[in-house]
């Protein structure tokens, strides 16, 4: 019980951090007043329309990525699995860079193109993993992901070589992860979309426990392994694809948060998944707050900060776990 | 120790000025001796700004290669393109049989310069980041091509520039927005910022000593720009995005949209660019 209270407190603390920290200095009392709609117009706009939206979106995306990472690590039974493993980042990157270099603009132009690219990558990898005989063999999934990812990256390189340089540099900056496009619309779109795959993964918590034992033991213990793998694969991939669409590619959260939770609280997915959601959300909110503040007014790509915070924390955890 | 090293470096930088004390050899803005005998006859220019400068100095007919971006003046379009200016395709450059290759001054050109010099093709790196560099660039290139009358062009330019430069008046605060997601703004160390200030505007990010920087929308809100300056195109679609409504100038659609390379790099068309900007900024004073 106390762990949930701790996690809840951490989540609240990080959200408070997300609201209070920013390139402009606003006192805590003024932030609170602005949240309630009081105070001068600019402060209210900054707190309610900019900081609050970023904070909520970062929390949801961070939580989603952490859950996806946990599910994929169980699916391919490989501790190195992360949400972008299966060729998704390459596909999304190709979509975004293509959209920008072909002049497809509009608020949703780049995100939708990234989503489209990710979906194509998912379909390709799935197709590869199906034609190879055994359905969704983890080895084939991993290889297929790497191959599709490199193929997309090469195409991206080709487009970058022939397209106008500054636009592409900006596209790459977007790909490194940013919540600058956060708005309540995006929060709602993401929530509505992500709720389904998150729910599906959550329902599979018990079969996921079985799957980590190996496919045969899971079969013997009564899990419908093939269906489970397909469900997980699509839920995880679709969730990641939409995360990329709203915020670019944010590494590290989906890789390390599940491991951190396993070290702290064990391997049962019924506890692992929600804990990973809360911890991943908290980490990403804190990382985004720091990305906005550390070198203000210059904003760092949030993916850079997640690794800067996450790696030291992870090293401490691993050392504690070994002793 | 640190200070001594700095002092030595500073002295070395001064010593590397464009002309050696003896007056014999000519050095470029990177301090390298330019191995050119007589005026250049076949020039490949790897920077759009330098291409335009060659045409302005009246030696456009000697330009045998340009970058694919070097499309001003119109006559330059008749010159074959050799591709990109940074990380140039050496083979494409050499195929134009140049006796001089002009580079934009940048550390990333080192390898290309070494290769060309190895093939006994003279190279010169020219600094041209702001209006203050224009005179130095014009004089250096003037000497390399043996152009006369550079000084009179410069005097006329200076006069024009002073004529169009705005005096002390109410200065609208201008946001120079290069990209919307993530938001990238133009900082003080850029030509665009310079012409906006000369046109009587104030770049809200002028205090940032960078050509451009990624920032959050919050920073933009806090700097309260009156106007948003964009280069190229129509009214941007991001103006409708909810997150941008926090910026008043965007909410109220106070855009100034300019088009053309005279706003992109320093050239003798700068007075024209400043005049156009002044006209655009005037209603907002």
Q: Is the pLDDT of residue B65 over 90?
A: yes
Residue appearing with tokens 């909810």: B242
- Render pLDDT for A177-216 as a digit per residue (tens, 0 to 9): 888 888 898 899 899 989 999 999 999 888 888 888 887 7
**Interchain contact, B214 vs A298, CB within 8 Å:** yes
Chain B: closest CA distance from residue A38 (Å): 16
Binned at pLDDT 50, 70 and 90, residue B66 comes out as very high
Give the whole-angstrom CA distance, residue A280 versus residue A306. Answer: 10
Query: Would you kindly state where each structural domain of chain B is located, as residue ranges?
Result: 12-149, 173-284
**Interchain contact, B242 vs A299, CB within 8 Å:** no
Nearest to A320 by CA among A277, A66, A312, A254: A312
What are the phi and psi torsion angles at B104 (to 5°)?
A: -75, 135
Give the whole-angstrom CA distance, residue A129 versus residue A148. Answer: 12
Q: What is the pLDDT of residue B22?
A: 38
pTM recorded for the entire structure: 0.82
Chain B: closest CA distance from residue A306 (Å): 17
Give the whole-angstrom CA distance, residue B268 versus residue B110. Answer: 28
DSSP single-letter state for residue A1: -
Binned at pLDDT 50, 70 and 90, residue B21 comes out as very low
**Among B182, B206, B209, which would you mutate to test the A interface (most chain A Cβ atoms within 10 Å of its Cβ)?**
B182
Chain A, 277 to 316: residues with Cβ < 8 Å from chain B are 292, 296-299, 301
Q: Is the pLDDT of residue A93 over 60?
A: yes
Give the whole-angstrom CA distance, residue A116 versus residue A121. Answer: 9
Binned at pLDDT 50, 70 and 90, residue A134 comes out as low
Q: Is the pLDDT of residue B202 over 80?
A: yes
Chain B: closest CA distance from residue A79 (Å): 32
Q: For the domain bounded by B173-284, which CATH number is listed?
A: 3.40.50.1980
Superfamily of domain A2-322: ABC transporter involved in vitamin B12 uptake, BtuC (1.10.3470.10)
Chain B, 181 to 210: residues with Cβ < 8 Å from chain A are 181-184, 205, 208, 210
The number of beta carbons lying within 10 Å of the beta carbon of residue B41 is 14
The two beta strands, B183-186 and B212-214, are antiparallel
**Interchain contact, B213 vs A298, CB within 8 Å:** yes
**Interchain contact, B243 vs A297, CB within 8 Å:** no
Binned at pLDDT 50, 70 and 90, residue A57 comes out as very high
Q: Is the pLDDT of residue B62 over 90?
A: yes
Spatial neighbors of B20 by CB under 8 A, at least 6 apart, are B27
Spatial neighbors of A252 by CB under 8 A, at least 6 apart, are A82, A303, A306, A307, A310, A311
Mean pLDDT throughout B232-260?
87
Binned at pLDDT 50, 70 and 90, residue A105 comes out as low
Q: What angle do CA A317, A78, A190 make, to 5 degrees?
A: 80
Contact status of A106 with chain B (Cβ, < 8 Å): yes
Q: How many CA atoms lie within 13 A of B13 on its CB side?
A: 6
Chain B: closest CA distance from residue A303 (Å): 13
Partner-chain residue, chosen from B182, B221, B237, that has the shortest CB–CB distance to A45: B221
Q: For the domain bounded by B12-149, which CATH number is listed?
A: 3.40.50.1980
The number of beta carbons lying within 10 Å of the beta carbon of residue A314 is 18
Chain A: closest CA distance from residue B83 (Å): 9
Is B108 within 8 Å of B86 (Cβ atoms)? yes
Q: Is the pLDDT of residue B7 over 60?
A: no
Q: What is the pLDDT of residue B13?
A: 37
Contact status of A40 with chain B (Cβ, < 8 Å): no
| DSSP secondary structure letters along A192-214 | HHHHHHHHHHHHTHHHHHHHTT-
Q: Is the pLDDT of residue A132 over 90?
A: no
**Interchain contact, A23 vs B221, CB within 8 Å:** no
**Interchain contact, B182 vs A174, CB within 8 Å:** yes
Give the whole-angstrom CA distance, residue A62 versus residue A156. Answer: 26
């Amino acid at each position: 019980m106390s762990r949930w209270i701790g996690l809840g407190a951490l989540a609240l603390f990080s959200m408070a951090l997300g609201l209070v920290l920013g390139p402009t200095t606003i006192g805590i009392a003024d932030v609170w007043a602005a949240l309630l709609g009081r105070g001068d117009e600019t402060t209210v706009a900054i707190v309610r329309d900019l900081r609050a939206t970023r904070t909520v979106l970062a929390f949801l995306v961070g939580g989603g990525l952490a859950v996806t990472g946990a599910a994929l690590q169980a699916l391919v039974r490989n501790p190195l699995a992360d949400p972008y493993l299966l060729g998704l980042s390459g596909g999304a990157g190709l979509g975004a860079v293509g959209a920008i270099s072909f002049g497809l603009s509009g608020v949703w132009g780049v995100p939708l193109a990234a989503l489209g690219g990710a979906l194509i990558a998912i379909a390709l990898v799935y197709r590869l993993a199906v034609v190879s005989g055994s359905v969704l063999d983890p080895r084939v999934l991993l290889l297929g992901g790497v191959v599709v990812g490199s193929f997309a990256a090469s195409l991206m390189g080709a487009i970058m070589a022939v397209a106008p340089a500054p636009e592409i540099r900006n596209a790459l900056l977007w790909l490194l992860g940013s919540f600058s496009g956060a708005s309540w619309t995006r929060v709602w779109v993401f929530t509505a979309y992500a709720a389904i795959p998150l729910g599906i993964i959550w329902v599979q918590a018990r079969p996921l426990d079985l799957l980590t034992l190996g496919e045969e033991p899971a079969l013997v213990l009564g899990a419908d392994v093939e269906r489970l793998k397909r469900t997980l694969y699509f839920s995880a991939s679709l969730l990641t694809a939409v995360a990329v669409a709203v915020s670019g590619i944010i590494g590290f959260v989906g890789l390390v948060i599940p491991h951190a939770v396993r070290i702290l609280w064990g391997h049962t997915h019924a506890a692992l998944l929600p804990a990973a959601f809360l911890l991943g959300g908290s980490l990403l909110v804190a990382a985004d707050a720091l990305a906005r503040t550390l070198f203000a007014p210059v904003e760092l790509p949030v993916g850079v900060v997640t690794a800067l915070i996450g790696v030291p924390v992870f090293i401490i955890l691993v050392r504690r776990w070994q002793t | 120790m640190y200070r001594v090293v700095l002092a030595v470096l500073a002295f070395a930088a001064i010593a590397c000025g464009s002309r050696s004390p003896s007056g014999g050899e000519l050095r470029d803005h990177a301090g390298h001796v330019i191995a050119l005998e007589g005026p250049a006859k076949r020039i490949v220019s790897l920077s759009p700004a330098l291409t335009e400068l060659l045409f302005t100095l009246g030696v456009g007919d000697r330009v045998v290669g340009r970058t694919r971006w070097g499309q001003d003046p119109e006559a330059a379009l008749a010159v074959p393109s050799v591709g990109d200016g940074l990380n140039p395709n050496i083979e494409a450059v050499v195929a134009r049989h140049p006796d001089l290759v002009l580079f934009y001054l940048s550390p990333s050109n080192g390898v290309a310069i070494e290769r060309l010099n190895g093939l006994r093709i003279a190279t010169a790196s020219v600094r041209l980041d702001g209006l203050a560099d224009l005179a130095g660039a014009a004089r250096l290139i003037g000497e390399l091509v043996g152009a006369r009358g550079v000084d009179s062009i410069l005097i006329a330019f200076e006069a024009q520039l002073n004529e169009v430069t705005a005096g002390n008046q109410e200065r609208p605060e201008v946001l120079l927005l290069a990209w919307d997601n993530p938001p990238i703004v133009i900082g003080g160390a850029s030509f665009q910022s310079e012409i906006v200030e000369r046109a009587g505007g104030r770049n809200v990010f002028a205090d940032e000593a960078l050509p451009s920087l990624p920032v959050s929308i919050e920073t933009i809100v806090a700097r309260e720009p009156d106007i948003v300056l964009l280069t190229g195109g129509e009214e941007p679609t991001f103006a409708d995005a909810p997150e941008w409504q926090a910026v008043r100038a965007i909410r109220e659609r106070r855009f100034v949209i300019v088009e053309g390379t005279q706003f992109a790099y320093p050239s003798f068309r700068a007075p024209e660019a400043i005049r156009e900007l002044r006209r655009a900024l005037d209603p907002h004073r």
